[in-house]
Amino acid sequence: MQITTVSDFRKDIKTYLDRVVKNFETLIINRGKDSAIVVMSLQEYNSLMATNYELSSRKNELRLDSAIDKLKSGTTFNKDLIEN
């Protein structure tokens, strides 16, 4: 995570935005008395939204936790795909 001020952001906006995208960083722009702003890449935003959706239902959350537990304990199995 990187933090900057509005003034510094304005001076070098391209560098800041390139860094956010290239390094998957989150940029916080401190605006003094006003609320801070968060800048992130679209890819990072989409990832957060997908995770939020997957965890929005308790049933999905339990299913994902179960799958992670099986993977960690080595109780997974392989299956061949059926080709038509």
Which CATH number, 3.50.50.60, 3.90.1300.10, 1.10.274.10, 3.40.1620.10, labels domain 1-40? 3.40.1620.10
Q: What is the pLDDT of residues 29-61, one digit of tens each?
A: 999 899 999 999 999 999 999 989 888 889 988
Please provide the DSSP assignment of 17-63 as one string: HHHHHHHT--EEEE-TTSPPEEE--HHHHHHHHHHHHHTSSHHHHHH
Nearest Cα to Cα of residue 16 among 43, 45, 42, 40: 40
Q: Which amino acid is at 34?
A: D
Nearest Cα to Cα of residue 30 among 9, 58, 61: 9
In the chain, domain spans:
1-40, 41-73
pLDDT at 72 over 90: yes
Rounded to whole angstroms, how far apart are CA atoms 22 and 43? 11
